[in-house]
Structure 1
Amino acid sequence: MTRILVLGYYGFGNFGDELILSAVQNELTSIECEAVFVVNEPGQYTSPVCPRHTLVDRHNLVAMRAALRTCDYVMLGGGGLIQDVTSWRSSLYYLGILLLAALHNKRILSYAQGLGPVRRFWIRRIVRSVFDRMILIDVRDDASRDLLLDCGIRTQDICVSSDVGLAYLVALSGEPVAAPRRASRIIACVNERFGWTPEETASFLDCLGSQSFAQLDLVVLFPSADLAFTRAVQDRLLTPSELIISPQPLALLDLCSSASLTVAGRYHMAAAAVAARSPLVALAYDPKISQLADCCGFDAFQPGNSPQQAAQRVRTRSIPPVTEESIERIGRTRTDRIARLKTVLERRNL
């Protein structure tokens, strides 16, 4: 049976990456293959849902060599793995494994992959060298495709689908249900990288809450990065608030579906609000959030906006949920992506 080694930033406590892990596992269950997922600390996971799926410790060099030697394919498994803003070393890790695999006659591919920003010329050269060897290039958005084109990748070889975590949340949410929204409930996920201080962030949320005497739920999706900042924001709030740490995907969808407004300071918080059809505004600390906003039609504030101006803009406008047309389009990209991977594997195994 075909064996795929799947690379990702799995096992580090980030809701988004764990969601992507679940999503890729879910999509691969419909394909006749064995999948080995490269993770941090495999012991933290229960047995994979699919008996054909296993885990390997990314820090165990002996196990990694064995996994690479026995696989037929190596796949970038979603998320924004190739970028050099937070660290160039991360890109070098994934690109290095892919290049090593290609040199050992393994077939390599990307799956719902986000790319960029990539500012260093020498990393762009490696990106071109690696992606030129791929038998399937599937990216999550137009910006990732455009970056590959800038690197010199062949146009006809790039497929644009959607973020695999977003598509998974849409699938979990199912058909829209006319559930009542609490007019006085705001769900917010905040992130220090946006650039506002705890005082400024609290001022923004208080301005939103004061209009409707709202209850505020502060959701933390990446505790090691965001918990301290979120607590600092909570300490400065005048609006009554509750802290919710690392909810499960279905619980997060329930929170968003009952909210009158979701404030998303993380990409997959915005994804959950899209899937739950929640009125949504985002704090775009990263271009990927602006790209998602452009795709789905919600407002995304950029760093440099003052908290008061941003709050005034939200309060004076009607914030509609994402359209069903956008939701349906995301669902189709998931179906098409799985079909493309099946076709590639079947063609290569003839």
Structure 2
Amino acid sequence: MTEIQAVLCGYYGKGNGGDEALLVSMLEMLPPHVKPIVLSAEPRATSKSYGVKSYDRMNSGSVVRALKESQVLILGGGSLIQDATSIRNSIYYGGLIGLARQFGLQTIAIAQGIGPVDKPLTRWIAKRAFSNCTALSVRDPASAALLESWGLSCIIAPDPVWSLAATPVPEIASIPSPKIAVTLRSHPKLTTARLAALTTALVDLQAATGSHILLVPFQPTTDMDIARQIRAELTDNSQIFTPTDPKQLKGLFQGVELAIGMRLHSLIMAAAEGCKCWAISYDPKVSKLMTEINIPGWELEDIPTDPVTITQAWQQHLQTGTHLNQESIRNIAKKSLAHKDLLTAAINNINGKSE
């Protein structure tokens, strides 16, 4: 087949373990004849880590050069167009799709989590951007329903990180059980009082169960301070882990009995590795996952004020709660490969038209 060059865009190079895992998943989905250019916040680090050509995502000259060198733009996974955090990302990705179309590129959006798009401008950007895509896949029913309300067809499949191969972390395997992984992130609603309640609950949970606490800041630039604050209150049976390899980050959850997480991909990785999970939802995407695979937990603003109540809930789930069985995990991972099938078909269609 004729070689095709594709620009991959997403929240890459920001040091977020979940988005880096999405990037690795996207790179593994590409057919052999497709050569990627990754738009990244840290292009040198991205090139070094993954062996790909990478350009600065915020340098307009670099972005234009990448588009002119390519035949397709791939919007690669995650909640890229939404206004829960900021409208700026929606403007960026919507503008990028529009620019790609001006240069004659085909545009493909894979494994999207769309919304919320509550602001009229965000909604207009989202509708226009996805209307310009030749192939669309989403990772949740709400995103599919939104596209369908705009008359756009898509496929729906679980997040690609479900099928990402995990690499074991030997130092985790050597830690005695029970092991509890904690992935908290900064957020305006994670107030000082709420963080204090969670920290006290973790201290009490450790004392009651003799567990080893693994603090995992998925995005160290924003999560590390919280991990250090909690670590200072725990016994020596606790550690902070910051794997930079997404496959190791997923492998960290192997053998972990309980994962307490705010980060969406921490919960996906943990569930995929057979952990019991407890969610603290700061975003609708986390709440959606809780519903889809029956993860217990709280909305961030509904965290109990009494640490004893929190500890008791966690301890009961550790002792009697359930996790996904291996058959369910395999089925979800298999379904997630539908994103790859759609991407392959869309690229082959582009290739066929160019031959």
Q: Deviation digits for residues 27-78 of structure 1, max 9, x if unmatched? A: 11x342122111112112344756xx42111133222112112321111111
Amino acid at match of 1:186: I
Amino acid at match of 1:189: T
Which residues of 2 match residues 244-259 of structure 1 at below 5 A? 244-259=241-256
Amino acid at match of 1:268: H
RCO higher in structure (CA 8 A, sep ≥6): 2
* Partner of residue 116, structure 1: 115
Distance 2:166 2:321 in 1: 24
Structure 1 residue 149 and structure 2 residue 148: aligned?
yes
Offset of residue 247 of structure 1? 4.9
* Partner of residue 7, structure 1: 9
Q: Is the 8 A contact 2:80 2:114 kept in 1?
A: yes
Distance 1:341 1:313 in 2: 42
* Partner of residue 184, structure 2: 190
Q: TM-score normalized by structure 1?
A: 0.88
- Unpaired runs of 5+ in structure 2? none
* Partner of residue 40, structure 2: 39
Q: Secondary structure at the match of 1:172?
A: coil
Q: Relative to structure 2, which stretch is displaced further, 205-214 or 76-85?
A: 205-214
Q: Deviation digits for residues 183-216 of structure 1, max 9, x if unmatched? A: 4321111223262533112122123223212221
Q: Is the 8 A contact 1:180 1:258 kept in 2?
A: no
Q: Kindly indicate which of the two structures has a greater share of residues assigned to strand.
A: 1
* Partner of residue 64, structure 1: 63
Distance 1:204 1:58, change over 3 A: same
* Partner of residue 126, structure 1: 125
The alignment of Structure 1 onto Structure 2 pairs a total of residues equal to 338
Distance 1:330 1:13, change over 3 A: same
Structure 1 residue 266 and structure 2 residue 267: aligned?
no
Q: Relative to structure 2, which stretch is displaced further, 96-105 or 249-258?
A: 249-258
Distance 1:338 1:255 in 2: 25
Q: Relative to structure 2, which stretch is displaced further, 201-210 or 269-278?
A: 201-210
Q: Is the 8 A contact 1:131 1:153 kept in 2?
A: no
Offset of residue 93 of structure 1? 0.3
Distance 1:252 1:341, change over 3 A: closer
Amino acid at match of 1:18: E
* Partner of residue 316, structure 1: 316
Q: Secondary structure at the match of 1:256?
A: coil
Distance 1:323 1:235 in 2: 35
Offset of residue 3 of structure 1? 2.1
Distance 1:124 1:146 in 2: 14
Distance 2:285 2:207 in 1: 30
* Partner of residue 348, structure 1: 350
Which residues of 2 match residues 111-260 of structure 1 at below 5 A? 111-150=110-149, 152-154=150-152, 157-168=153-164, 171-172=165-166, 182-193=176-187, 195-197=190-192, 198-237=195-234, 240-260=237-257
Structure 1 residue 302 and structure 2 residue 299: aligned?
yes
Q: Relative to structure 2, which stretch is displaced further, 200-209 or 91-100?
A: 200-209
Offset of residue 120 of structure 1? 0.6
Offset of residue 284 of structure 1? 1.3
Amino acid at match of 2:34: C
Distance 2:332 2:156 in 1: 11
Distance 2:215 2:95 in 1: 38
Q: Secondary structure at the match of 2:83?
A: coil
* Partner of residue 291, structure 1: 288
Distance 1:32 1:77 in 2: 18
Distance 1:325 1:337 in 2: 20
Q: Is the 8 A contact 1:297 1:322 kept in 2?
A: no
Q: Secondary structure at the match of 1:294?
A: helix
Q: Relative to structure 2, which stretch is displaced further, 206-215 or 266-275?
A: 206-215
Offset of residue 181 of structure 1? 9.2
Q: Deviation digits for residues 238-279 of structure 1, max 9, x if unmatched? A: 684222234533443443222221111211211221121111
RMSD: 2.4
